Amino acid sequence: MKRHLLIGASLLALAACADLPAGSSIEDGNFGNATMNNVLIQTGQKSYVESLAGRFAAEVPSTITFAFDSAVLDAAARATLDRQAHWIRQFPEVRFSVFGHTDLVGSAAYNQQLGLRRANAVINHLVSRGVNRSRLDARVSLGQTQPLIVTSEPERRNRRTVTEVSGFMQRHPTVLNGRYAAVVQREYVASAVRPLPPISGSGASLAGAQ
């Protein structure tokens, strides 16, 4: 009797799964992410990307803003992007993403395209300043979904792009050799060995130079 009950329960369980695709009970859209994350950590990629991202955000303004319904770069935006380009050129192994944002005025579809136009305007300017286009990614436009200031009125601080470190150029020789730490350390070492400018004036002293 018990045997028949077990067989019946097994058949019911199989019947319940009959309409589900293979693996659907465990596949939640993140399959393999844990393994990928382990590889990134073990090879040093993740920690060094995070280190570079922190340095970029601390040393260079990562955000520019736009006039209403515009993707045109004004003088202040171009000056900020020139600083970004200078920083980016120091790290030829590194990839960057540019995220376009809008305010909450207008339709979601229109704002999605406007955010993308703004991201592409930034990329075009960085390329004009000597950054290789293959290192820049503007495929993501966040449109109106992440406002800094939640308001339905026009708000310049929401009309922005944000440039971020996103990863490494996988075909670069340094990356192929797994020398991720060298990428982060290189500029620190270079800055440490640069000679200091001479102290001018015959009356200069150690105290006065501090």
Domain span at residue 141? 60-185
Q: How far apart are CA 126 and CA 147, in angstroms?
A: 24
Distances (CA, A) of 93 to 80, 177, 182, 186: 22, 12, 11, 12
Confidence label for 118 from pLDDT (cuts 50, 70 and 90): very high
Q: How many CB atoms lie within 10 A of CB 73?
A: 19
Over residues 176-184, the mean pLDDT reads: 59
Residue 190 lies in a domain: no
pLDDT at 27 (0 to 100): 38
Q: Are 95 and 89 in contact (CB under 8 A)?
A: no
Residue 166 lies in a domain: yes
Residue 203 lies in a domain: no
Q: Which of 127, 118, 33, 136 is nearest to 77 (CA)?
A: 118
pLDDT over 60 (residue 21): no
Tell me the CATH number at 136.
3.30.1330.60
The predicted-structure confidence for 123-178, as pLDDT tens digits, reads as follows 999 999 999 999 998 876 778 888 999 888 999 999 999 999 988 775 555 554 55
Residue 76 lies in a domain: yes
Q: How far apart are CA 29 and CA 24, in angstroms?
A: 10
Residue 19 lies in a domain: no
Residue 202 lies in a domain: no
pLDDT over 60 (residue 36): no
Q: How many CB atoms lie within 10 A of CB 47?
A: 14
Q: Is the pTM of this model over 0.85?
A: no
Average pLDDT of the chain?
A: 74
Domain count, the chain: 1
90-94, 184-188, 206-210: which has the highest mean pLDDT?
90-94
Residue 144 lies in a domain: yes
Residue 204 lies in a domain: no
